[in-house]
Structure 1
């Protein structure tokens, strides 16, 4: 393929195939590292999301200690194999799709238009979520069950297919799609906006310092997850439902509202997300940016200067 048409000066020496491959690689590593780091907290959050129990930080830590005592240390990472099976392609696709959607929507040529920037992030989230959704459902099932019920990711898919049918793999898909639009849109919009402000007022560097990008990712994670959290509750209820209690999005919303209310129902576990979310998103965005740029600079024609040397033509 020909040279990339992206206006970013860091990409002028690359073909679009090289842009995509470096983005896929960096995204896969970033997602795996971030999700593995916060896997025990993620499992804890899901267990509260799907139950009628009220949530508190104290109860969350009691769940962690009980799991550790009864099932062992590695049980805290139960379901992480399913997470990796999903997050590696999900994160790779999401970051790559975001970069490509920005190019298609000509975000950079429009001076970082807020609407186009948000839309690029939202479309990236929709693209990656749609292509990897069954793995998200499998991860949720493993997180809330004992290993005797589902001993492996393969067994999850086998049992769901033979007991519940193929349609079950897409349970919770609609609230997931609805929720991922504000989540991914706001996350990428916030992160890119903070990077732009940083370059304009602090340091116009070739690559933003990892600590700064991690901080920007943390802020983006808090904002993105807070705006879409109620839909996360709905999708988890539907994903882990094997009794028909939550048959569709509307009835799930009505049930949660009537039985638990808005705050205790739709925002259950949000404080846990404010702990794990910034960590995960911060690690993910920072790792992605730094690995991506390192890979691109290592290709023929890439910049040999310090990654933190200011460049007047950087975005």
Structure 2
């Protein structure tokens, strides 16, 4: 079970082990869902005025976008920005799950609340995600820039992107879009952990041994939690992406219209005026597919790796007891 479980103290894992499992889960998941992330970002950055009578954007459907990106930029375009995205996933997974495990343990030991309740998971999951967001925001900005650029490329590689952005835009550019990210990430991650906890208990009652992960139910529960959470908080993800490519208009020009925003409120107002309410949900279809796969696989692999480490510790303990018995 995700979170501190007092019923599994004999095989409890440290924060370092939770961080390792979170990193591994993020790395595997990122490699699998990257194509959907690239397509989602392309939709989010596409400007289409609601008053226009004709289709202005380059992309208007999930499969059409996939075919067009493949035809114009090749297969590897679906993994554009994969290196900063992988660094983001590894870093975010480590900080988020280590923080979450620590927070649920603190709640259990220092408050009257039960650490395995859905409400506790909502709060602890949201706080843990905010911590991870602050740490990892520069990598998220880099990932968005790489996924957004077409051909010819503005940034040759990760090192070139970092130096170019620092020199031309300043260090603070790596934190573009942080405010809508923090506003969105707390309820988004909190709801992920909340619904995962609810679905998990509905479909898979807690095991007395504490071994409950790495199975199909984890994948299904995580997928459902991801889709619900993403739909509720989606507009803030779109605002973040629009703000992150500020100062990057040259690379976006060939994809259609570009806009500059002064901040979160200005971004929301301009989108509402020009693109209507539907503009807040551009790219929702690939985003939901990605959220279902991403959240499902993240919880699946996290519990898989946790159980692998827990089983390894159990075998080492048993071998130690056996050796001590033989020596005596």
Fold conserved between structures, TM > 0.5: yes
| Aligned with 2:174 (options 169, 172, 195) | 169
Deviation at 1:249, TM superposition (A): 0.5
Q: CA deviation at 1:195?
A: 1.9
- The C-alpha deviation readout for 1:66-91, integer Å capped at 9, x for no partner, is 22222221121111111011111111
Whole-Å Cα distance in 2 between the matches of residues 186 and 120 of structure 1?
10
1:38 corresponds in structure 2 to 33
| SS of the residue 2:47 aligns to | coil
1:274 Cα offset (Å): 1.9
TM-score (norm 1): 0.86
CA apart distance, 1:98:
1.1
Is 1:132 matched up with 2:146? no
Partner of 2:273: 258
2:96 matched residue in structure 1 = 94
Query: Could you say which structure has the larger radius of gyration?
Result: 2
Change (3 A) 1:98 1:302: farther
CA RMSD of aligned residues (A): 2.5
Tell me, yes or no, if the aligned pair for 2:88 and 2:136 is still in contact at 8 Å.
yes
Match of 1:290 in 2: 304
The question of whether the paired residues in 2 share the 8 Å contact of 1:11 and 1:19 is answered with: no
Q: Using CA pairs below 8 Å that are at least 6 residues apart, which structure has the higher relative contact order?
A: 2
Within the candidate set 112, 120, 126, 1:122 is matched to 126
Unaligned runs of 5+ in 1: 1-5, 305-315
Asked if the contact 1:296–1:302 (Cα under 8 Å) also holds between the matched residues in 2, the reply is: no
Change (3 A) 1:114 1:191: closer
Which residue number in structure 2 is paired with residue 312 of structure 1?
none
SS at match of 2:16: helix
For 2:108, what is the secondary structure of its paired residue? coil
Give the counterpart of 2:237 among 229, 232, 237.
232
Worse overlay, 99-108 or 137-146:
99-108
Displacement, 1:99? 1.2
Q: CA deviation at 1:61?
A: 2.1
2:18 pairs with 1:20 = no
